[in-house]
Structure 1
């Protein structure tokens, strides 16, 4: 006859640890709910571990789980690194860089426009100032020509 045992596992720092074991489902789920309510763990789950001594086979089934997709924090690359890796793979596969999706502005476009507007304004100020200086020099020359 197969024997069942309920294990309460806790997730902290990316690692699952067996917190306690119980002979019945109800008490193990009750403890798991209490642990989850304490907010000390990233996740809590109850696993029914069934072992058949005649065949030597074991089977584990998750019967309660508060965690989302359990992942190790250090194993998942940051989204920017993952996108860069995908872009590099696409360039290597096709030989050309993938185009941006239509309607999606590239990052920093507002900043590029701002720099361009500032450059145009400065160039306009310099041009008008230069023309003003030339006009004043011309008027000064006319006045000096009349005076001599």
Structure 2
């Protein structure tokens, strides 16, 4: 008997990430629509992941997608097939895993935003202190 699971995927920064999984289609699509309404992600999709333990084969079907129409795509080979190909593919896969890093421009952007907000807070605080000082001086001259 094939087992099915529904995965909610989110797209942010050009990368798809599994957000959550559900046993039924309706609840997964409802969550996907809520996430899409929040406008925090570039795209949302729900994938029906079906695995047949007898054959060791899996199949994924996109059932909801805010960026493209639904389509069927092949799944990775079974663990047994991966084990047979593992020695030949181990070196390139390890090298690819090491090269996937967060873009540096994203780190710089976050640092610049944080520095900007810090400057706004400090300058605003100094401005408030200056106004309090002036108001105190004016108040003391009046009496």
Pairwise TM-score range, normalised by the shorter structure: 0.3 to 0.5
TM-score under structure 1 length normalisation: 0.46
Higher-Rg member (1/2) = 1
Q: Which structure shows the bigger proportion of residues in helix conformation?
A: 2
TM-score under structure 2 length normalisation: 0.47
